[in-house]
Amino acid sequence: MKSCVLSKTCTLSTSMQLGFLCIIVILANVLLECLVF
């Protein structure tokens, strides 16, 4: 759920820095989900 919302905000974001931070956050969430489940 969170990753979906973040990805949408990333797509709408025009700043390269924000997009880069978004990608890091999404990857971190995916890794955490893999470790937890």
Question: What average pLDDT does the segment 5-23 reach?
Answer: 62
Q: Which domain holds residue 30?
A: 2-36
* SS3 annotation, the chain: CHHHHHHHHHHHCCCHHHHHHHHHHHHHHHHHHHHHC
Could you say which DSSP state residue 9 is in? H
The one-letter amino acid code at 35 reads: L
> pLDDT value at position 8?
58
Number of domains in the chain: 1
Which comes out higher in pLDDT, residue 14 or 32?
A: 32
Share of the chain above pLDDT 90, in %: 0
More confident residue, 1 or 33: 33
Q: Is 6 exposed, middle or buried (0-12, 13-18, 19+ CB in 10 A)?
A: middle
Question: What tokens does 2 get?
Answer: 């969170």
Answer with the residue of higher pLDDT: 9 or 34.
Answer: 34
Please give the Cα distance from 24 to 37 (Å, whole number).
20
